[in-house]
Structure 1
Amino acid sequence: MLTQKNQSARVTAHYTSGGIAKPGLSPTVDVYDSSGLILSGQASTEVGGGFYDYVLPSGSTPNAGNYKFLFKTTDTSVDQRHVPGLWIIGEQWVENVNATVSSRSSHSAADIWAVGTRTLTGFGTLVADIATAVWGAATRTLSAFGFNVTVATNNDKTGYALTPAYDPAKTAAQGVDMVEVLATVEAIDGTTSLIDGKVDTLQTSVNGLNDISQAEVYSQVSTAIAAATLATGADVDALQNDIMAILDGANGVDPGITVRQALRACLSALAGTNTGAGTTNIEYKSTDGSKTRISATVDSVGNRSNVVLDVT
């Protein structure tokens, strides 16, 4: 493996027993450089799978050259008790730069600024130098802001001019406008007075409607109730007799048929049960089923030839 000097170096050895990885060992490491043995009996670290690592500290690689490593174990069951390793330490790369960067480019400043897109990777002291130069000048002038500036107080009126305060044409036009405004205001004022008068009249009328006291209302109602004629029992009986006379009056609907009887027949036909449908004799019962109210003889198409009523 290859690395720079003054950098650590990690070396790995692999132990087997009968051709199979041998774990559980504690091999030590001896380290040699071109001058000979520099470290001995260094502890290694088991990685797994028969692999063991040793890291040579960066302080032990001050010189470029070949560093040899010898892993040793006292276990006699392994296939090889001493396993060598090699690490090449080279010079630091920066030492190979023996000229200034500026000497490596043939471009002038004009060449750089002629490029459409330029990127500065670092400003250095450029910003500070510009600020120092600007604020160090006795007189500083901003030719353009590129943004809005609000001035609280401007005591220097140089370059400013005031236009005449009086413009006859504008004043005359404004006078006409004011006349129209005043006329409109007077018209509105007159309308307002008229509305006020109507409101006052309405208020007077309302006040006239509200001059009845609670006691007066109670008195009027009590008087009306006392004067009312209530129906007596005799009046109710008379009314009931009148109703019965209407229901049971002879020939009230047809000859020999009272209103009550007609209602019974209608109720039977509309709401009572029936028998004989589809035959020549159909009967309709009273709603309680106790009587045959209607007994009709019909033909095959339902035409009635005879009807017998029991509406008693």
Structure 2
Amino acid sequence: MPYTYKQPYSLDGTQGQTINVYASTDLVTPLTTFTSDTNGRGEVTLTVSDSAATTLYLVRASDSKRLAVTTIDPREIASLWTTTTATAVWSSTTRSLTTFGTLAADIWNNSTRTLSAFGFTVNTNANSVESAIKAKTDLLPAAPASTTDIPTTTAITSAVWASATRTLSAFGFTVNTNANSVESAIKTKTDALPTQPAATSDIPSASTIATAVWNNTTRTITSWGTLITDIWNYATRSLSSADKEDIAVRVESHLLDEGDSQMLINAIVGAIGNTNINQTALVAAIRSDIERGGGTLATIAADYARRTGDYATATSITTLGTQLGNAISNLNNLSPSQAQAAALAALTAYDPPTRLEATTDKNEILAAIPTEIGGGNGGTPVLLPGSSVLFNPRFQSASNQGIPLALVEIYQANTRIGTGTTNASGRVEFAAGEGFILLKNTSYSVRVYAQGYQSHAPISVTLATDASPTYSLVTTPPFPISPDPQKAIVRVRTADFAGVPLQNETVTLTLDDQRPIAIGDKFISTRTIKGQTNEQGEVDLEVWSDETLLAAGLKPIYDLKMTGVTSFPIQVPPEGGIASHLKPTS
């Protein structure tokens, strides 16, 4: 129900200020507002429940200070309803003009009842609007038709089709009976249609056609007439480079390799030691070869008998010779020209490396041979490939002191290929020595992160020889402290993937707890804090500390959001800190 609240007493210190009025059920969004007068009082009309009591909080808008609390009970103000004018009027049982006595009679009995008596003159001259209306009404017949005189659509349709004369000529135009070019073209097409055109269901499917083709008992290429002749008579019959390469690979896989070719040549040369190969010559050659290293056959036989008690007999040797002779008789007696041709073909098939290919292979072998370098600081020596360099950077403060425990990362394009931590002298330390092993003449970027020092922009590195450069880092300024003991400062640092600070980016912190926020005597209507990053990609945001939120019975967790970054929770202690270091432990 509507209700007007009048502040009955002065609210000190609120003269001329805006007052927010909240319902006890929603301390975030005010029901309405009003401005207090010079005495610190005011009134406001709002809608309240007509069945239950409503508690209102009056809060100063400038600092959210609670000024007053009042409760409106509909039972206490129900007796006032009958005093309102509207209720009294409509509650009256008599509501007629006749109850005003002779009011109506006096009006009509008045001797002067002209419009001129009201102080204006009636214009008897027609204006443009009246003339336009008259022009339209003049067109009306003397006896305009009534809506009942208009026949229905059903009656019109029946009359049209019931008419004895239904010719087009009756409408005042002539039908052209001579066919034009379009009609003639259409007729030419329709004349070509068969007497009974096939329906779409009569056309066999692709699978039906394929089955019929392969089920046909006659499947010969010759039945295609001159197809084969046309193929071979075609002017262009060349293979693509890919086809040629595939054929060459397949042929080469079935040829003898270089070692086989040499064995074939050796066998041919050995076989034609005597161009007139026969059994006698072959046996003599075999005997001569056997006796060349171990003495005569008799000596060999005696020695074998002495050692094993067994030896080859003349009969066994003769049998062996016979077997060899039978094998040789099955071979063609090669002529010198045939042997020479076979050897030449084998040499032609062999593809020896060129000088350039041999030199390239040598350089690759030399480049792959490791070079021994010292590990440094007593580390174990490591083997460094010939195509690599040692990169051993040092990071120091403004006073030239080494910065320990700094995280150093090496990137090639967008891929991290190495990481390490600096030692007490500010250099990266590994178990087998110090530094990163990088490829010569290759672009890299170096990123370093150290506690207490500002983030360093990526360092571009391209080395032709070993290098041990020194880089100085800048210390971060003292962390700010909020002047409000209930609040703390959160510093958010941003950068893109290459480490470049993100400027003018909006960062939002939102209190995760959705309950009404009442801290001390203040009611907080918003739970979101926003800010934009500066040239260094940083922004400081002042928020309620976790101790303050816990004391108010709220969950002390904020959600951090910004474009392109997945939101994550943080918990802010009274001393504040870097956002990435404030993620809650549970």
Higher relative contact order (CA 8 A, sep 6+): 1
Which of the pair has more CA radius of gyration? 1
TM-score by length of 1: 0.22
